[in-house]
């Protein structure tokens, strides 16, 4: 599937790409490929769990019949597809920065390791010709970013660059919804304004990241991966230039209860405000605080949804592949939306978290 990116930008980025041989061969043959981000490896989880989850996500993509392409930055190059050694190095190297669209040039010029966020991974995927990308949850509009009516507190304008990237880069992004610590209604409004289809899979409600139901109606919904592929193909055929956000609920067995999630999020946000946490430190601080409040259950849900999203993205990429490639791969694809991602790998990871 061809992705859209401004031609001058595409040319400049292509000169910075180092595409792994397996990934390059799959792209050249129009086979299914799924891009994966790398911030979970360097910042999301401690080592060795971080590498175990990355491996599990890549395996889920492979089991669906697609080729995984984890993206990172090193030595002034954008790496599309990491080796086992590179995964471990990224996870164990100190001081790894997070690269997004605003900091992509800084990360490349710095010459060291950098992990790619949603926006940077979308940019790399589009430049490489990869049309499907799996992540955990997207960033969005933080609470208070637009101000609060009746309060003197200033508007922080803390809005993730993920949203602008979805508006300008034609990649299908599979996630479990916006992170639950965000202002989800404002995030959906922002995406609507910027022309990004937001589609829930297998439900009429927006998935709530750690929970299956945020209590917010989804702007659009599809029943399964086949309908999702039809919608994505139609959107990209129109040439509108924006991405598509596909929101897959966390597997039921791993989900955190909605009421408990809301209570934990409110408590974490109050703690962050009391501690003066703001700016780029807010999201990692809140996620770590949620892990403490939920006694690790938010982390276990996060692991499950990452693997589940990777599996769905693999199935989507296979469905979007040219018919002659799709038929060859179809037998290897599993169910459209998994109710459980309990595998020996995820069980081992969850035991470590416990």
Q: Just list the catalytic residues.
A: 37, 179
3-state secondary structure 3-44: CCCCHHHHHHHHCCEEECHHHHHHHHCCCCEEEECCHHHHHH
Tokens of 13: 């980025």
For the chain, counts of helices (H) and of strands (E):
15, 11
Residue 344 vs residues 283, 341, 350, 352, 354: alpha-carbon distances, Å: 30, 10, 10, 13, 15
Phi, psi of 203 (to 5 degrees): -160, 155
Query: What is the CB neighbour count within 10 angstroms for residue 155?
Result: 10
Query: What is the CB neighbour count within 10 angstroms for residue 327?
Result: 10
- As a whole number of angstroms, the distance between CA 96 and CA 117 comes to 12
Residue 134 vs residues 35, 231, 325: alpha-carbon distances, Å: 6, 17, 21
Tokens of 26: 């799959």
Tokens of 338: 């998994």
Residue written as tokens 């037998």? 331
Provide the β-strand partners of residue 314. none
- As a whole number of angstroms, the distance between CA 165 and CA 158 comes to 15
């Amino acid at each position: 599937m061809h992705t859209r990116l401004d031609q001058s930008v595409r040319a400049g980025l292509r000169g910075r790409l180092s595409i792994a041989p397996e990934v390059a061969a799959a792209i050249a043959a129009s086979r299914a490929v799924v891009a994966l981000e790398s911030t979970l490896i360097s910042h999301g989880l401690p080592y060795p769990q971080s590498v175990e989850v990355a491996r599990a996500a890549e395996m889920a993509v492979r089991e669906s019949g697609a080729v995984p392409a984890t993206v990172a930055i090193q030595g002034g190059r954008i790496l599309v597809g990491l080796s086992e050694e590179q995964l471990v190095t990224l996870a164990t190297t100190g001081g790894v920065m997070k690269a997004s669209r605003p900091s992509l040039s800084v990360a490349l010029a710095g010459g060291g390791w950098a992990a790619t966020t949603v926006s940077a991974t979308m940019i790399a995927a589009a430049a490489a010709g990869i049309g499907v990308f799996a992540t955990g949850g997207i960033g969005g509009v933080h609470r208070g970013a637009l101000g609060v009516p009746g309060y003197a507190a200033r508007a922080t304008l803390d809005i993730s660059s993920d949203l602008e990237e979805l508006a300008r880069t034609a990649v299908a992004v599979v996630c479990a919804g916006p992170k639950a610590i965000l202002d989800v209604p404002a995030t959906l409004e922002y995406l609507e304004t910027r022309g990004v289809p937001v589609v829930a899979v297998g439900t009429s409600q927006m998935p709530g990241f750690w929970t299956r139901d945020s209590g917010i109606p989804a702007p659009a919904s599809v029943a399964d991966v086949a309908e999702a592929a039809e919608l994505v193909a139609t959107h990209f055929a129109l040439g509108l230039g924006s991405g598509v956000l596909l929101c897959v609920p966390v597997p039921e067995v791993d989900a955190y209860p909605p009421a408990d999630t809301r209570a934990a999020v409110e408590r974490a946000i109050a703690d962050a405000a009391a501690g003066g946490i703001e700016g780029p430190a807010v999201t990692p601080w809140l996620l770590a605080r949620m892990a403490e409040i939920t006694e690790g259950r938010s982390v276990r849900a996060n692991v499950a949804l990452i693997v589940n999203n990777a599996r769905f993205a693999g199935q989507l990429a296979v469905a979007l592949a040219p018919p002659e490639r799709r038929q060859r791969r179809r037998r290897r694809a599993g169910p459209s939306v998994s109710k459980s991602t309990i595998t020996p790998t995820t069980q081992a990871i969850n035991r470590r978290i416990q």
